[in-house]
Structures are given as structure tokens and as C-alpha cells.
Amino acid sequence: MNYSSFEINESEVSVDKITFIPPDIATCSECTEEILNLNNRWRGYGFTNCTNCGPRFSIIKELPYDREKTTMSKFKMCKKCNSEYLDTTNRRFHAQPNACEECGPELWTEDFKGNKLYIEDPIIFTQNQLS
């Protein structure tokens, strides 16, 4: 087939609803490599994802699966994340949950009184507390 163009258009409102939403899957190997890479902007960021390891069932509030219909709607993408989101050659192209440490959700640890603890790695800290 000879296509002359490719477009992603705005979602259309429809009364027919799709009932199947794929379940969350594990973080892909590429995202995992970025999380573990000391020189990568995704280093240690627990919410790293791309289109290879999404969509995320756990964040969808309504269909169609557009960012404004997910729990990510309140997080405005920074310039870097938005650039990846719009780049057709990037694996984060149109990844609705795309966000980084600068613009996305964060992890933190609190004491039993609800006071935020300033811990470098909340996951490791919590694992150690449970050991």
C-alpha cells in the first residue's frame, strides 16, 4: 500500500464504549535500563514508562484513552516530556502517562504523624523498614 500521510486526530465522542482495557504490564526493558542508568534523566524515577509498557489500566478514568481522561490530567508535561510525546520517532510518542521527576507524580515517605521524611530513595528505605 502506498500511503501519502499519517495523522493522529483528536478522539471522537461516541455513545459506543469499548469495554476491554488492557491490564497494566511490567515496565519494559528499555525503561528499566533508563531507570538504572546513573547518567539518564529517568534515573530512579518510579513512574517511568513508554508506549512499549503502557497503556496503564490503573490510571484510566474514562475512554477514549486520552491524557485528560486519566489520573495524569493534573500533571502538565514539561518541555522535554512534551517534546518526546510529540515526536513520532520516540517510543514515548503519544504515551499518555509520559512524565518525569520534574513534571510528574512523586514518591515520598512519611512518619506515623504524617510528616514528610526527606529520604533519597523512598522505595529502598521502605524495603529496609520491612526487612
CA 81 to chain centre: 10
Residue 5 — very low, low, confident or very high, per pLDDT cuts 50/70/90?
confident
Q: What is the mean pLDDT of residues 110-127?
A: 90
- Statement: residue 78 has pLDDT above 80: yes
For residue range 32-76, list pLDDT tens digits in order: 999 999 999 999 898 999 999 877 888 999 888 899 999 999 999
Cα–Cα distance between 127 and 131 in angstroms, integer?
A: 6
Residue 123 — very low, low, confident or very high, per pLDDT cuts 50/70/90?
confident
- The residue extents of the domains of the chain are 29-106
- Statement: residue 10 has pLDDT above 80: no
pTM over 0.85: no
C-alpha cell of residue 58: 490503573
Residue 16 — very low, low, confident or very high, per pLDDT cuts 50/70/90?
low
Considering only the top CATH level, what class is 29-106? alpha beta
For residue range 84-95, list pLDDT tens digits in order: 999 999 999 999
Is residue 126 classed as helix, strand or coil in its secondary structure? helix
118: Cα within 13 Å, side-chain hemisphere: 0
Residue 30 — very low, low, confident or very high, per pLDDT cuts 50/70/90?
very high
Mean pLDDT, rounded, of the chain? 88
C-alpha cell of residue 89: 520517532
Q: What is the mean pLDDT of residues 5-12?
A: 76
